[in-house]
């Protein structure tokens, strides 16, 4: 008899797709990302996979104010958990690990913003905490970094997104867990 590894239970983690985060004119394909994430939310719900929402809540993103609100077209349903965070890593000083434990989730499908900050911090934080991670390669976004902050070269949003997708695909070397990327059309819940 062949022994098979038990499939890990997934949760769909939507990070920081907030109006104030997406307001920057340099944000890559914000409307497209929100639309694809909304489609994944519908698919996750249809498959009875938990959707967990994360909202940054500090500085310019103050709870209940307009910039803090989720992007138009994204709305937590009923009992879906909403986690408030202050740091890039969605696990740091939040109840996210407890929420995921209650849901029985140990494989996170991740989408959101900002690619080079909160997304990278969260996927790395999840992996080191023992979760499998799938970064949805066409469902995260960020803005560009102007040349004045980089010593002379503009760093495009698309460059940072491509780098983070590569980074996520290299995360497979952790013992007992995996990291990968998939485009939204290939994600299975």
**Which residues are within 8 A (CB) of 99 and not within 5 positions of it... i.e. 6 or more apart?**
52, 81, 83
- How much is the pLDDT for 6? 64
Comparing CA positions, the residue from 28, 137, 175, 13 lying closest to residue 85 is 13
Give the 3-state secondary structure of residue 160: helix
Q: What is the DSSP letter of 69?
A: S
- How much is the pLDDT for 142? 95
Comparing CA positions, the residue from 161, 179, 172, 163 lying closest to residue 33 is 161
- How much is the pLDDT for 54? 98
Number of helices (H) and strands (E) in the chain: give both, helices first: 5, 6
Q: Which domains does the chain have, with CATH numbers?
A: 10-186 (3.40.50.850)
Which positions of the chain have pLDDT values less than 50? 1-4
Q: Do the beta carbons of residue 33 and residue 138 sit within 8 Å?
A: yes
- How much is the pLDDT for 152? 82
- How much is the pLDDT for 172? 67
- How much is the pLDDT for 63? 95
Helix intervals (H) in the chain: 19-22, 30-46, 96-103, 120-128, 157-169
């Amino acid at each position: 008899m062949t022994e098979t590894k038990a499939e890990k239970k997934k949760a769909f983690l939507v990070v920081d797709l907030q109006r104030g985060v997406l307001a920057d004119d340099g944000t890559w394909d914000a409307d497209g990302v929100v639309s694809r994430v909304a489609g994944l939310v519908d698919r996750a719900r249809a498959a009875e996979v938990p959707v967990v929402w994360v909202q940054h809540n500090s500085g310019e993103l103050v709870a209940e104010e307009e910039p803090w609100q989720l992007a138009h077209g994204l709305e937590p349903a009923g009992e879906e958990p909403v986690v408030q965070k202050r740091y890039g890593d969605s696990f740091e000083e939040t109840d996210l690990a407890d929420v995921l434990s209650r849901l029985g989730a140990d494989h996170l499908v991740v989408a959101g913003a900002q690619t080079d900050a909160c997304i990278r911090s969260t996927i790395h934080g999840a992996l080191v905490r023992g979760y499998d991670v799938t970064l949805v390669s066409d469902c995260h976004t960020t803005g560009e970094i102007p040349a004045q902050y980089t010593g002379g070269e503009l760093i495009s949003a698309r460059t940072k997104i491509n780098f983070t997708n590569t980074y996520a695909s290299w995360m497979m070397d952790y013992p007992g867990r995996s990291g990968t990327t998939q485009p939204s059309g290939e994600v299975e819940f």
